[in-house]
Amino acid sequence: MTTKIAYTMACLLGAGMIFLGARFFFAPEAAIAGFGIQYNAGGDYSFHYIKGIRDIFSGILLCAFVLLNQRQAVSITLLAGTIIPVNDMLVVLSKPYNGVMQAMPHIIAILICALFGLLLLITKPNQKTF
C-alpha cells in the first residue's frame, strides 16, 4: 500500500513537472510569475524554453521510472531531485519582493520529494505494485 501511494505521488509529481514545463513554452510570462520571480524577457523567451524543456525531461523521466516499476530509480530521482526545489526556493527568497508565500510551492515540492523518496528507499518492496 505504501509503495502504491508513493508511486502515485511520484507519477503525479512527474505529470505536474511536465505541465509546468509545457507552461513555460505556451504561457511563458504566466509561468515565470507562478515560479515566484519577476523577469522582463522583452519578447525573448529563451530562458523560459530552456527551463521548460528541463522540467519536461525531468517529469518524463520520473513517470517512466514509475511505469517501469523501477523502485530504486524513482527513490533516487526523488531524493536527488530535491536539490532543484531547494535551489528554486533560495532564488525566490533571495528577491526582496518575495516572502514565504511565493516560496510555498517550492517548499511543498521539497517535502513531497524528500518524503516519498525516503519512503520508497526504506520500505520493503512488494512483488506486485500495480
Q: What pLDDT is recorded for position 130?
A: 56
Please determine, for residue 54, whether its predicted confidence score (pLDDT) is greater than 70. Answer: yes
C-alpha cell at 123: 520500505
pLDDT tens track for 17-30: 999 999 999 999 89
Q: Note whether residue 57 is domain-resident.
A: yes
**Residues 80, 86, 88: CA angle, nearest 5 degrees:** 120
Residue 120 · residue 112 · CB < 8 Å: no
Q: Note whether residue 45 is domain-resident.
A: yes
Q: Note whether residue 128 is domain-resident.
A: no
Q: Note whether residue 129 is domain-resident.
A: no
Q: What pLDDT is recorded for position 38?
A: 82
Q: Note whether residue 130 is domain-resident.
A: no
Q: What pLDDT is recorded for position 90?
A: 95
Q: Note whether residue 49 is domain-resident.
A: yes
d(CA 32, CA 30): 6
Q: Note whether residue 21 is domain-resident.
A: yes
Please determine, for residue 129, whether its predicted confidence score (pLDDT) is greater than 70. Answer: no
Mean pLDDT of the chain: 91
pLDDT tens track for 87-126: 999 999 998 988 899 899 999 999 999 999 999 999 877 6
Number of domains in the chain: 1
The domain of 13 spans 2-122
DSSP 55-69: HHHHHHHHHHHHHTT
